[in-house]
Amino acid sequence: MLKYPRPGSVKTRLVPALGEQRAADLYQAMVRHTLTAAAQFARAGDVTVEAWISGADSGESARRWLGEGPSVHEQGEGDLGQRLERAAQAAFAGGAEAVFLIGGDCPALGAGHFESARSALQRVDVVLGPTTDGGYYLLGLRRFIPEVFQGIAWSTDRVLAQTLAAARGCAAEVELLERLRDVDVPEDLPVWAATESALAAGRARVSIVIPALNEAGPLVPCLDAAARGDPYEIIVVDGGSTDGTEEVARSRGAIVLTAPRGRAKQMNHGAAVATGGTLLFLHADTLLPDGYEEQLRRLLATPGVVAGAFGFAIAGEFFGRDWIERATNSRARRRQLPYGDQGLFLQRETFGLAGGFPDIPIMEDYAFVRRLRTLGRISIAPVNVQTSARRWLKLGAIRTTLLNQTIIFGYRLGVPPATLARWYRGRRQAVS
């Protein structure tokens, strides 16, 4: 049971995060995944795959979309229950001994689930594959039972319970399959990102993850510079901005997610949704250099290198800028210890091995890089990112440097990160 993938009419609850076109593209990718699983099951026995479509301009346009695989039918008028009932009735009228009804947005669905459903229908009349949101991803019937389509509160968390009650009210025996999660809202996107279909599409590309909190101003040049490198996707993870940061990100074509405030939480959430084979973590006030994709690919292809970052430069003029840049670049190269404002990049698999960013309120980049050093070498690109001078202009070069070093030494001495975060915020506010 499918919808024609017209932008703005499918996966509408994903549109605020992905935009209309990207949401429609994702839906098409999930449909391809589902049809592949159905085709694999069909090869194992006497199975016919039918696609019942709603919203297509014509049967011809639906056939062009789906290709030569399944036979195509129009769902017709009525609510979802009426359309499901119509499809099931037609299949049984055509001689089917069992019917499975599925949608196209459950990426965890595989041929094995169909096998389990077929096995269950040898024992019971109805089989249901529950979803985590209270619906179902599969309804299997051994005989036509119209009651399971009637009086259901569709698109609510009561669909599964009401369908079970309707089946049992007809004296039908029911069996449940494994519970799966479909993809309806932005919080579901990691489910799709974990599939082989999603990972295969982005394996050779770069996903940029940008945590943001009230960064509407600096985010514009940041996103523009990032887009010039033609990454696979740019993901802005907002921590609760009130200045229009999300709107700015959408206007520049970024994927926009929300997460609890905290750089580590935001970056980890972005990484869970990203489907590129390479992850690049970027601060919202930092500009990537021209040709950055070529640089990171070259460094990550170097034997022994597990991660990298760019050289460090500060935009703007102030006393001590040159000294800060030299000291930062020396530390990063000599000690293999770049910080987050240098644009950390690594392969997705390495990010998983390192366990992601530790969930601490400050020093998450420092702790993460130290984990990475246990896995291999961290290399620094010969080109610089350019980060905003606002921290140094606000506090002054000496005070900013002393504050940063105090936090680092406190962390190394074992001061709890929550305490360090209070020190950092308090001292910055006191100076301002």
**In this structure, are residues 34 and 137 in contact, taking their beta carbons and an 8 Å threshold?**
no
The reply to whether 268 and 394 lie within a common domain is no
**In this structure, are residues 387 and 314 in contact, taking their beta carbons and an 8 Å threshold?**
yes
The verdict on residue 132 lying in a domain is yes
The reply to whether 380 and 430 lie within a common domain is no
Number of domains in the chain: 3
The reply to whether 218 and 237 lie within a common domain is yes
The verdict on residue 113 lying in a domain is yes
- CA–CA distance, 219 with 373 (Å, rounded to integer): 30
The reply to whether 298 and 331 lie within a common domain is yes
The verdict on residue 63 lying in a domain is yes
Closest CA to 142 of 121, 163, 128: 121
The reply to whether 428 and 351 lie within a common domain is no
Note the pLDDT of residue 337.
95
Query: pLDDT 10s digit of each residue in the chain, 432 long?
Result: 999 999 999 999 999 999 999 999 999 999 999 999 999 999 877 899 999 999 998 888 888 899 877 899 999 999 999 999 999 999 999 999 999 999 999 999 999 999 999 999 999 999 999 999 999 999 999 999 999 999 999 999 999 999 999 999 999 999 999 999 999 999 999 999 999 889 998 888 999 999 999 999 999 999 999 999 999 999 999 999 999 999 999 999 999 999 999 999 999 999 999 999 999 999 999 999 999 999 999 999 999 999 999 999 999 888 899 999 999 999 999 999 999 999 999 999 999 999 999 999 999 999 999 999 999 999 999 999 999 999 888 888 888 888 888 888 898 889 998 998 888 877 554 443
Q: What CATH number corresponds to the domain at position 163?
A: 3.90.550.10
The reply to whether 274 and 296 lie within a common domain is yes
Closest CA to 387 of 338, 330, 333: 338
Q: Which residues pair with 209 in a beta bridge?
A: 235, 281
Domain of residue 28 covers 2-176
The reply to whether 357 and 405 lie within a common domain is no
Which domain-ending residue is among 372, 388, 404? 388
Q: Is 293 exposed, middle or buried (0-12, 13-18, 19+ CB in 10 A)?
A: buried
Chain centroid offset of residue 223 CA? 18
* Exposed e or buried b per residue across 238-252, where buried means at least 16 C-beta atoms within 10 angstroms of its C-beta: bbebeeebbebbbeb
Closest CA to 253 of 280, 275, 223, 281: 223
101's tokens: 């009804």
For the chain, give the number of residues: 432
First to last CA, the chain: 59
Whole-number CA gyration radius for the chain: 26
The verdict on residue 14 lying in a domain is yes
The reply to whether 151 and 295 lie within a common domain is no
161: number of Cβ within 10 Å: 14
Q: Which amino acid is at 158?
A: R
The verdict on residue 193 lying in a domain is no
Q: For the chain, what is the HEC assignment?
A: CEECCCCCCCCHHHHHHHCHHHHHHHHHHHHHHHHHHHHHHHHCCCCCCEEEEECCCCHHHHHHHHCCCCEEEECCCCCHHHHHHHHHHHHHHCCCCCEEEECCCCCCCCHHHHHHHHHHCCCCCEEEEEECCCCEEEEEECCCCHHHHCCCCCCCCCHHHHHHHHHHHCCCCEEECCCECCCCCHHHHHHHHCCHHHHHHHCCCEEEEEEECCCHHHHHHHHHHHHCCCCCEEEEEECCCCCCHHHHHHHCCCEEEECCCCHHHHHHHHHHHCCCCEEEECCCCEECCCCHHHHHHHHHCCCCEEEEEEEEEECCCCCCHHHHHHHHHHHHHHHCCCCHHHCEEEEHHHHHHHCCCCCCCCCHHHHHHHHHHCCCEEEEEEEEEEECCHHHHHHCHHHHHHHHHHHHHHHHCCCCHHHHHHHHHHHHHHHC
Q: Which amino acid is at 6?
A: R
The verdict on residue 197 lying in a domain is no
The verdict on residue 380 lying in a domain is yes
The reply to whether 354 and 208 lie within a common domain is yes
- CA–CA distance, 417 with 360 (Å, rounded to integer): 6
Note the pLDDT of residue 430.
44
**In this structure, are residues 141 and 129 in contact, taking their beta carbons and an 8 Å threshold?**
no
The reply to whether 257 and 359 lie within a common domain is yes
Which domain-ending residue is among 159, 176, 193? 176
Rounded (10°) CA dihedral 122, 127, 129, 132: -140
Closest CA to 188 of 352, 306, 29, 17: 17
The reply to whether 166 and 294 lie within a common domain is no
- CA–CA distance, 93 with 256 (Å, rounded to integer): 47
Note the pLDDT of residue 298.
96
- CA–CA distance, 188 with 423 (Å, rounded to integer): 36
The verdict on residue 318 lying in a domain is yes
Which domain-ending residue is among 176, 191, 214? 176
The reply to whether 367 and 411 lie within a common domain is no
